[in-house]
Structure 1
Amino acid sequence: MHLTLLIPELLWPEPGDPLAFDGLACPSLETWLGRSRLERSPPRPLEAILARQLGLTENGLAACRLQGETNAPQAADRQWFCADPVHLKFHHDRIILGDASLLALEAAEVEALLASLNATFPDLGRFHAPHPRRWYLEAAADLELPPLPPLSAASGRQLGSLMPESPRFSRLMNELQMLLHDHPVNRAREARRQPTANGLWLWGGGALAAPAATRIERLGADDPLARGMARHLGLISEPAPATLADWPPGPGRQALILLEHLLAPTLIEDSEAWRDAMARLERDWFAPLAAALGKSIARLDLISPTAFGVLHWEIRASDRWKLWRRTPPLAALTRQLALSPENMP
């Protein structure tokens, strides 16, 4: 089997952070990285990498994610946008975008916010929320919005650096923010010192791409976008396994597994949680892979979008004999990548 592991944030973005790297032991991962071939490319969002791996374009990501959310196929002539709630906060006179993972919105809060949005902005279409953190806009037929990056690529960044040059769109975003900021739900949350859902992030719009040919035959993922892509393409789709042992040989010679253990700790800048998640990956995935390569797995591709670009290691069974090749510890590798703007061998 040819296995591709897509693991966002495999390297902590701060090379000198002792809370991330001190005491972190990943001998299996470091061994395989040292004996593999590394291709480094410019940064790209996780969603774009996932689409490319499955032979899709970045059009219609919202419709794909909704399909993975509800299991219902979306009409090809209907346009959807992800309309995810966000928390906008001031930091050094700048507005920083935070995702909805910190909001913990209650169902009644979501219902009240959506009711106000749908009553105030009927010209946009209709808002839906099958999940408290993932909202959607069923767009009006004539609605045109400039593209925004996925929320995974926007979280933690300055709002002004993300916005397109469109006064009309900026005005719309401001109107949405004013409605949400003054909403009774957010006033009550502010009184309880909870983060407020004071903005929406509209991304992933476009016509749903026609199913394309893809080398992947089997997908393991919990992310609704990945599940929706698999359903759109007619692939075998399963939940992401907890360990390599939970991914038994099955149909399909080409498999892709999305492991998101490191993503949430990175987005909330929790280096200790990232280190703990990395230790679990070493135990449950990287160490077992050492025994599986050359047996049940003939080739492994390890792909990770990071602060240092998209890192793609290609590992073949024969690489286990390259005993002369050494890899520095992850902290040292991270420092090397941070200092080098170009590809590394």
Structure 2
Amino acid sequence: MHLHLLVPGLIWPSIHARGFAHTLTLPALSRLLGVGRHRAEPAETPEQTWARFFNTDTATLADAPLRRWGEADALRVDTPLLCADPSHLHFAGSHLLLTDAGELAITRDEADALLDALNAEFADIGRFEAPTPDRWYLHPTHPPTAQLSRLSATTGRPIVHYLPSNGDALVWQRTMNEIQVVLHNHPINRTREAAGQRAINSVWFWGAGSLPASLTPPAQHIAASSPLVRGMARAAGREPTRPATFADLPAGDALVELPDAYHASLYLDLDPWQAAVLDLEQRWFAPALAALKAGTVKTLTLTIPDERGGRQITLSKRHLWCFWRKPQSLETFTLANYS
């Protein structure tokens, strides 16, 4: 068995931070970081890394129909589609920043009411739908020709740098502004604000396009929880699994998505990030390393996507005998590579 773990968010993103991981007890991860063979990877978002693994062009891949196929109802959409994700825009100083739906705790009733308003007001641009309260889609009347930035590249950053560009960019910028007016005035948001919750005051369009003819599967088994990766697996002819721990993996080579720490890392939210990393140590890193020692795992690879430049660490059982290579803490590894 060859096991490949892809762990976005494992690298703490602030280059000025110190002490973010020095109290964490991570013996298995430290062993992997210390004795494994290291390789630099491109500067990428997790979505771009996954596209590369599926041997497709990250610049032109349509995330929206793939993510839609990966939702719980596994709906395959063969017409153009956009992600139209609910978000909260707010000023921090002079910058307008985006907070994604993962921070908004949107209920099913709220999503339905807001989508009813959008579909009534913007029927000319297409039809909105929401298979989950925090992931929305637009079936467009006229697919955009503009370049649209991925949500993960925009989250927590000044949106001025990520607005639609080229092609019909002005059309989509105007549409976003008009949607913001409708959402701002909706009773749902007045109720949320009265309760001390952030308003759902914008949508972010991204991932436009149609399903690719097919994708190349990167492994025999693909284990993933995020809809985008699950949709990629289905487009590659693999039905994704959703194992909770290493012990739940099916027999055979596997590529596993471990996104638990990613969302907290985007928001520099230290406590949940630390909790997620400790949980990954117990559920994945420690048992995988034990399986490598026992010989049931032949090679163990850890890929860490990062927009400053990713890292890949690979080791086999023989690397464990390299006594001169000492364990390396996650904090030491991060500071050595990113400070």
**Fold agreement, TM-score > 0.5:** yes
Q: Which residue pairs with 2:218 in the alignment?
A: 215
The residue correspondences of 1:306-345 to structure 2 (distance < 5 A) are 306=306, 308-339=308-339
The Cα of 1:19 is off from its aligned counterpart by: 5.9
Equivalents in 2 of 1:212, 1:110: separation in Å?
A: 32
Secondary structure of the structure 2 residue equivalent to 1:204? strand
1:227 is matched with 230
Task: For 1:170 and 1:236, locate their aligned partners in 2 and report how far apart those are by CA, in whole Å.
Answer: 37
How high is the TM-score relative to the length of structure 2? 0.91
Cα distance 1:286–1:106, how it changes in 2: closer, same or farther (>3 A)? Answer: closer
Q: Kindly tell me: are residues 88 and 145 of structure 1, through their superposed partners in 2, closer, same or farther at Cα, counting changes over 3 Å?
A: farther
Q: Which has the larger displacement, 129-138 or 114-123?
A: 114-123
Q: In the alignment, does 2:48 pair up with 1:45? A: no
| Change in 2 beyond 3 A, CA 1:155/1:81 | same
Structure 2 distance, partners of 1:75, 1:157, is: 31
Aligned pair in 2 of structure 1 residues 177, 19: CA closer, same or farther (>3 Å)? farther
AA of the residue aligned to 1:138: H
Q: Which residue of 1 aligns with 2:265?
A: 266
Instruction: Give how far 1:289 is off.
Output: 2.0
Aligned equivalents of 1:272 and 1:75: distance in 2? 39
Q: Does residue 295 of structure 2 align to residue 292 of structure 1?
A: no
> Quick check: 1:203 aligned with 2:206?
yes
CA contact (8 A) 1:80 1:138 kept: yes
Amino acid at match of 1:204: G
1:93 aligned partner: 94
Asked if the contact 2:144–2:208 (Cα under 8 Å) also holds between the matched residues in 1, the reply is no
In 2: Cα distance, 1:42 partner to 1:64 partner? 23
Cα drift, residue 170 of structure 1: 2.0
Structure 1 partner of 2:112: 111
When structure 1 is superposed on structure 2, of 7-16 and 99-108 the one drifting more is 7-16
TM-score of the pair, normalised by structure 1: 0.90
Out of 67, 70, 73, which is 1:68 matched to? 70
Ranges in structure 1 where 5+ consecutive residues have no aligned partner = 340-345
Aligned residues between the structures: 333
Pairwise CA RMSD of aligned residues? 1.9
Structure 1 stretch displaced more, 302-311 or 79-88: 302-311
Unaligned runs of 5+ in 2: none
Displacement of 1:99 in angstroms is 0.4
Please say if residues 29 and 287 of structure 1, whose CA atoms lie closer than 8 Å, have aligned partners that are also in contact.
yes
Choose which of 144, 164, 167 in structure 1 pairs with 2:170: 167
Report if the CA contact (8 A) 2:148-2:208 is conserved.
no
CA contact (8 A) 1:56 1:211 kept: no
State the match for 1:102 in structure 2. Answer: 103
Deviation at 1:180, TM superposition (A): 1.2
Q: 1: distance between equivalents of 2:111 and 2:277? A: 34
Q: Quick one: distance in 1 between partners of 2:73 and 2:55?
A: 21
In the alignment, is the contact (CA less than 8 A) between 1:211 and 1:233 conserved in 2? yes
Q: Runs of at least 4 residues of structure 1 off by over 6 A?
A: none
- The residue aligned with 1:246 is 248
Q: Alpha-carbon deviation of 1:70?
A: 4.5
CA distance, structure 2, for counterparts of residue 322 and residue 164 of structure 1: 51
For residues 75 and 261 of structure 1, what CA distance do their matches in structure 2 show? 28
> Match of 1:343?
none
Name 1:128's counterpart in structure 2.
Answer: 129
AA paired with 1:87? H
* Residues 1:145 and 1:131: Cα distance change in structure 2 (over 3 Å): farther
Matching residue of 2:191: 188
Tell me the percent identity.
Answer: 37
Indicate conservation of the 8 Å contact 2:215/2:232, yes or no: no
